[in-house]
Structure 1
Amino acid sequence: MRRMRNTVYVTSEDAWLRKEGANLVVEVEGVERGRAPLHMLDGVVSFARPGGSPALMAACAEAGVAISYLEPNGRFLARVEGPRSGNVLLRRAQYRWADDAGRQVPIVRGIVAAKAANQRTVLLRALRDHGDAMVPEARLAVSAAEARLGHIARRTLAMDTVETLRGLEGEAAATYFAVFDHLIRIGDGAFRFTGRSRRPPLDRVNALLSFLYAMLGHDCRSALEAHGLDPQVGFLHADRPGRAGLALDLMEELRPVLADRLALSLINRGQVRPDDFIMEEAGGVRLTDAARKTILVAWQERKRQELRHPFLGETAPLGLIAHVQAQLLSRHLRGELDGYPGFIWK
């Protein structure tokens, strides 16, 4: 099993990253705020506007440490990485499968079924833990959505085209987010959720989800690259310039498990508060610097939690599940596995 290494998150917007010996050093206004050995790092995610030194970028590229630059609200800007690793034959197989509709279907079916099943588990856990505290109408709505998501997951088995599976994925998302507001137990209205909004997020819940999805996207892309796959060429998500389709594919299974569940916990436990968000004049909402730090600590803690992988039967930290799924996908593309087993959270 791959060892889980660290990701450094640089949240100070005026930070400067540089190399000193074999270490990454973070400075703010000329004062060192932290350092970490490069060989212990899996990636760097920076919200800093100044950036980093060319020497650091070269050292990270040589060590296989990708640097991702994001805006304060979590929107991806750029990524610095070294030469691609992995077997060129695997990438060629990936491209052939992506161009073959018949071969795409089993992979997409596994992704969509796992996503719907994991969304259903989020609702089931909410009903189990807090169903008695919900008003009857909310409890009925969540129960109906849970049943519908289970039905959607089963319907994927009968679908034989990518287009119909994409339709089911959209139906699952609409069903899930239609009741997401009922899972939020803060009653002051500041965390009211009426639907997904992205660029920019228009409320606090969407700002939190978008931020967590950006973190998950970084991890999924790194996992795919580590196993020799091209993150740009997906199966569920069609090719589009500038879009990492396969990273988005992998994210779909893991959003409910890693991001959505964490967002609900942060809100319901009061770890994020209404004043942790900045309401911009243009209508967008973003997190404060202090809130980003709080969320990133919780994100790292969530990734360290262990569970038993349903396909492999092995225990692994949640933070390695993206690597496990990338490995399973690569084995399927090589012909070592008959199908791609999506990750189903239990």
Structure 2
Amino acid sequence: MATMNPLQRKNLKVVLPCIAVIGIMLVLVAYSPTLYRLFCAATGFAGTTQRADSDSGSVSKRTISVQFDSNVAPELPWRFEPVQRDVKVHLGEQKLVFFTAENLSDQVVVGHASFNVTPQTAGIYFNKIQCFCFDDERLNAHEKVDMPVVFFVDPALASDPETLGVGTITLSYTFFRAAHPENPKDLSRFTAAAEPDPARGQLLFEQRCAACHGLEVNQAGPMLGGVFGRKAGSADGYNYSSALREVDVRWTGDNLERWLTDPRKFKPGTRMPVRVIEPSARRDIIAYLQQESRITNTGAQARSVTQSPADSNRKTGASLEVPIRPDVRLVGQVPQ
């Protein structure tokens, strides 16, 4: 095998580092949009808001005004505007607002929303739990939909020297036509006539509830498998508040709807600290729990055929309460 002469080896030492540098530059160029988005999301740079599965668990007495701005790119044949122009919220308080989108064309169109807040220093403290801006969104011809946004402003905003004087935050969206849609979601899921979607409910449950609730075992909150038809406060081995142990309620779809809307209004004295304030999210989480209850109950009936009388007399049940834990942020917890 021929060996390289000294000049060839010298040239190789120059060429190889140059090729490596060029390769690194090409990778950076290819992934720069993704890297930039990750940087903005982590730092709140340029007013980029944060994404959260739950709120901070505390609500401040301080209030702040949040205003809403909407824009549509020229190539997108949609009308897009906020239902409300501004709201007052306490720091840490979950808030539900709506934006209306209407497709003015005769064709199905997929759009994607960009977003930011001003002043830009507030971006790191503005958290969205539910937003149409998370995905490409499909709107049918001449369809009109009210799209929910669930957000909260972190109470830490009040202690940051750069945001001490902030009294108003403006949340701005611009909708563009999606050039290369990636698994677009159908905005019709937000309409009142939409059928309950257990599959979406499972995703919401995993995102918002599974940190504290299991289907078959108690965790920080009681188990939720087979919750439909069970008496509140009756899951084996779970330490409920006296308020929920004493309430004479069985979990039906209507009772779960009332519970998730406002647990402490449903039963004063309960320890459940959070609400699911978006109607379509409640609808789909309940549909998922109902589906899982059918599976759980069917399995229990099958097991009872082979169980001894002593085994079959075991007490079962579930409820929806979960204690406040300082190390777990809760959102959308559901009855068990």
TM-score w.r.t. the length of structure 1 is: 0.28
Q: Choose between structure 1 and 2: higher strand proportion.
A: 2
TM-score w.r.t. the length of structure 2 is: 0.28
